[in-house]
Amino acid sequence: MGAGGISIWQLLIILLIVVLLFGTKRLKGIGSDLGNAIKGFRSAMSETEKAEQDADPKSLEQTGEKRVADGDVAKPSQTKAPEKSA
């Protein structure tokens, strides 16, 4: 038994049908496009991590700004909440 109760013969038949429908040339193109997309995603993630490491946190502290979840810089609010009297 293969993964999820599918035997190796059933997987081979499905693979044969897919190859007959799309052709090997088109499947090769789809595979290379998918590989390039994954490669681009990984390089973008590594660039983002590098930019975050290069950011100087002390300069943000001096200006009173803080970093928010998506990486943007937000200025502190100038308004204060009204005080409650007892």
Q: Give the domain extent around 38.
A: 3-74
Q: Is residue 83 part of a domain?
A: no
Q: In the chain, which ranges are E strands?
A: 66-67, 73-74
Extract the tokens encoding 24.
Answer: 């090997």
Contact 64/76 with Cβ under 8 angstroms? yes
Q: Is the pLDDT of residue 72 over 70?
A: no
What tens digit of pLDDT does each residue of 28-58 get? 999 999 999 999 999 999 988 888 877 755 5
Give, to the nearest 10 degrees, the angle between helix 24-54 and helix 8-22.
100
Q: Is residue 52 part of a domain?
A: yes
Q: In the predicted model, what is the mean pLDDT of the chain?
A: 76
Q: How many domains does the chain have?
A: 1
Taking the C-alpha atoms of residue 35 and residue 61, their distance in angstroms, rounded to an integer, is 41
Task: Please give the model's pTM, rounded to 2 decimal places.
Answer: 0.43
- CA dihedral for 55, 61, 62, 66, sign (positive or negative): positive
